[in-house]
Amino acid sequence: MARRACLHVIRADFSDGCSTDREAIENIVQLDRQMMVKSAAHVRRWTAQTIDADWAGYCDASRRIRRQMASGLEAEKLILFPILERRGFATRPRSHLATLPITV
């Protein structure tokens, strides 16, 4: 949730940026939404009862969604970090970011 909140702050900050960067950030936001939908479907599908009934299936499904999440985060890093570096985002003070809860 903290990562998503930061992404929305970044998105707002880039509203006046170059169109290529804005488009890339919008694509990341869309990919994040798609992953959120997939994750919610996974949680709905795999209740305690369905996990108990099909442990192997749950393990496979869980591995797949974790791989998808890791792949999405890696793509986000490869796309977003260079944009942020070009704009000096990491070096500018962001008092509103400091209030966001960041957990690992």
- Overall pTM surpassing 0.75 (yes/no): no
The letter for the amino acid at 37 is: V
67 is written with which tokens?
């791989």
**Is the confidence at residue 102, as pLDDT, over 50?**
no
| pLDDT given at position 95 | 52
DSSP 9-71: HHHHHGGGS-HHHHHHHHHHHHHHHHHHHHHHHHHHH--HHHHHH-HHHHHHHHHHHHHHHHH
| pLDDT given at position 103 | 44
Provide the percentage of residues in the chain whose pLDDT is more than 90.
45
pLDDT confidence band for 45 (50 / 70 / 90): very high
